[in-house]
Amino acid sequence: MEIGFLGLGIMGKAMSMNLIKKGFKVTVWNRTLSRCDELVEMGASVGETPAAVVKKCKITIAMVSDPAAALSVVFDKDGVLEEISSGKGYVDMSTVDPETSSKISEAITSKGGSFVEAPVSGSKQPAEAALLVILAAGDKALYEEAIPAFNAMGKKSFYLGPIGNGARMKLVVNMIMGRYAHCSFLATSLNPKMRQYSNLLMSDCHLGAIATPMFKGKGPNMIKSNFSPAFPLKHQQKDMRLALALGDENAVSMPIAAAANEVKKSETPALPISLSSTASHSSFCALITDVTQFEMSSKIRSRT
């Protein structure tokens, strides 16, 4: 089976590489076409437009940054909608809100195509190791047809029924992750005088009730001040914002998530980095560390 793949960012690049490694023929597209070069070296073909990819492939997967990009790749000139037709499937693995997913689904099915939303749980390392968790909803037949591709990119896939359920589940997962990440970053920087005992903090967290793979994976990097990007902060803040909108839609109050979202979207010009559109998830950890240590030092100075 030949798979089309649209979007070669941090996640899409790793996911499409895993498809190639598992023996799939893959045709790729990215807005900046030079990003396709590494995939071509692995054996991929390049489509000049999303429409060209869809025309060539029975199933096309998209992994783009946000709802605006997801809509653009479908509805813009030379987009998916120009070539989707009966017998072709479109799988959007981007993290978007249910309304965006529904709009795409209606457009695809109106042209005779089939549609599945399949956002993923996991960031750069799980994507590279093919350990993503895939939260799918929509056309059941297309989901089953796409399972071999899902298996090449992830460790488990779930079918959640009608369109919108996959998007909702992903937003809930990322809301929990965003809140947990915030608390984890604070914990590692809470007391600079205790940093020599940071490894003991890691051990305690791993052995106790709060043990999670996320803290196990990111904790050592926090201690070493290794803030290389794995998940762009602008994308996490976007997910928190969409999760809060989902809470509003269902009349569910989420004050802790709202507070975490405010921190993630704020800017702090007095410090070395700000939470701008180019900051990474790991940069947030660096910022929290700097803020905490700055505030604690200021308090200590004010008392002397």
Residues involved in catalysis: 170
Do the strands 25-29 and 2-6 form a parallel or antiparallel pair, or are they unpaired? parallel
Using alpha carbons, select from 292, 98, 273 the residue that is nearest to residue 194.
Answer: 292
* Residue 288 to residues 186, 222, 267, Cα–Cα distance (Å): 7, 11, 12
Alpha carbon 236 to its chain centroid, in Å, reads 8
Contact between 115 and 89 under an 8 Å Cβ cutoff? The reply is yes
Do the strands 45-46 and 2-6 form a parallel or antiparallel pair, or are they unpaired? unpaired
Q: Which two tokens stand for residue 299?
A: 């308090």
d(CA 93, CA 160): 14
d(CA 27, CA 39): 9
Q: Which amino acid is at 291?
A: V
Q: Which amino acid is at 9?
A: G
Q: What is the DSSP letter of 131?
A: -
Q: Which amino acid is at 48?
A: E
Q: Which amino acid is at 235?
A: H
d(CA 166, CA 113): 19
d(CA 149, CA 146): 5
